[in-house]
Every structure is written in structure tokens, then in C-alpha cells.
Copies of this chain bind each other. A is one copy, B any other.
Amino acid sequence: MAPPAIILVRPQLAENIGKAARAMLNFGLDDLRLVAPRDGWPNPEAGPAAAGADSVLDKARAFASLEEAIADCHFVYAATRRPRGMMKAVATLAHAAGEARRLAAARRRAAILFGPERAGLENDEVARAGAILTIPANSAFASLNLAQAVVLFAYEWHQAADATPSFKLDKAHSGPAAQGEVVGLIAHLEEALAARNYFFPESRAGAMRRTLRNLVSRAGFTAQEVRTLRGVVKRLDRFPRRDARKR
């Protein structure tokens, strides 16, 4: 595996370097490189923003030139949202992250270049890249914070190999109750209501029962929740209000 290098070109703020390091480690990346950081390197001001991602900062390397920083990388993406008038393809974040995964699996390293906060990458820097990476965004307000751009790439890198089911039950969630229990709850509720002449007039009784059956059947209560609700119905059914005589 050769996970991609995140290369911050001429970064200005140490805080953004620290936040980028944290964002990288959040999603399993740890090869951070800096090209000519404005305030030098190492920079103790990056530490607090890294919030514990010290391992990434400790092994981060600073280079005098972009050419040195990319020397051992096999494909380079330049993150920029401005059209450059260059004969170069433009990839989305998800595409670039997927390609970085495929390269890594083949022991080839992708590099992702992010430009300085104020002005982004220069054309000469973009010309070193194999493709442009543009994060699809609101075209009326598309300028992303540097560390936020890094976290989005890192997230997509993680997503490209993540198998988390899109929707699953919490470990404590026992799953829905068997329908016999659901039917029992509905019968209990209907009996308590019928005893109070709730299903009136007779012509609407069928629709009223269906409304109750629908709402209980659809809710997906667990067995424990069905037991809780039966206790609720029982309590409402059998006990008068404590202050009933006062009213």
C-alpha cells in the first residue's frame, strides 16, 4: 500500500496545517508534506489544532520545491476550482479518491496538491499535475477553507474502501418485534378503547381500527418497546388519575 500524500503548497497558517493533520488521521491518512510553508517547519503553532494527531505532524516533511515533494509520487492531482485554460482533465473528489485507492493497491502513490489559503495554486504548479481535482460546490460561494478541502478528500479516500452499511441497527437495538406481539398490542389497545365506546359511530369503526393498526404496524417497535407500550395501555386503562376526585 502506498497511501496518497497530501501536499500543502506554501501554506500560510499553522492552524490549517494542524487541522489538516487531524482531518487526515480521522480518515486514515498520514503522509503530510509541506512545500515552502510561510512560517517555516516544524511550527509549534500547528500542534493545538491537530488535537492529538501528533503522529502526522511529527512525520510531516517540508520541501523547498514542489518538484522535490512529488518526486516519489506516481500521479498528481492539483486541487483548484478556477479554470486554468489548460489541456487537462478535471476530476471530482470521489473520482480522484477512488483512483488514489487503485494506485495505492498497485503500490503507486498519488499526490494531492492544495494551494495557499489566499490565492491557491499557481499555473506553473498546476502544470506539474496529471489532472485537476475540483470539489463540486455552490458556484456562488465555492471557496473552501484549506483544512476543509483536505478533510473532504480524506473522507472520500476512506469512503472508497469503507463497507459500513448505510443504515444499520445500533448494537443495543434488538430489531423489530415478532408480529404476534404487535398484533397483541393492537388488540389490547382496541379492547381498552372499545370498552369506552371509542369506535363510534359504527360506520367509521372499521376505518378507525385500520388507522390504529397502520400506525402501530408501521412504527417498527422492538419487543421491549411493545412490552413498554402494553404497560402504558394497562396503566391508562385500569387506573384513575390520582387527582380525579379533585377535578
Which of A's residues lie within 8 Å of B, judged by CB? 19, 22-23, 25-28, 51-53, 83-92, 94-95, 131-132, 134-138, 141-145, 147-148, 151-152, 155, 158-159, 162, 164-174, 222, 224-225
Contact = CB atoms under 8 A, between A and B. Distances in A.
A170 B25 contact: no
Contacts of A173: 86-89
A143 B51 contact: yes
Given A151-B152, A166-B92, A167-B95, A87 B222 contact: yes
26 contacts: A22-B148, A23-B144, A23-B148, A26-B141, A52-B141, A85-B171, A87-B172, A87-B174, A87-B225, A88-B170, A89-B169, A90-B167, A90-B170, A92-B164, A92-B166, A92-B167, A94-B159, A94-B166, A131-B167, A135-B155, A136-B158, A136-B162, A137-B158, A138-B158, A144-B151, A151-B151
A167 B52 contact: no
B91 A22 contact: no
A169 B135 CA distance: 15
Nearest to A91: B167
A130 to B, nearest CB: 11
Contacts of A165: 92
A141 B53 contact: yes
Q: Mostly helix, strand, loop or mixed at chain A's interface?
A: loop
Contacts of A168: 89-90
Q: Chain copies in the assembly?
A: 2
A117 B94 CA distance: 28
Contacts of A224: 87
Contacts of A53: 141
Given A26-B137, A95-B167, A142-B26, A84 B172 contact: yes
Contacts of A147: 148
B222 A172 contact: no
B87 A51 contact: no
Given A25-B138, A51-B143, A152-B155, 20 more contacts: A19-B148, A26-B144, A27-B137, A53-B141, A87-B172, A87-B173, A87-B174, A88-B170, A89-B170, A90-B170, A91-B166, A91-B167, A134-B164, A135-B155, A136-B158, A136-B162, A136-B164, A137-B158, A145-B151, A148-B148
A228 B143 CA distance: 35
Contacts of A169: 89-90
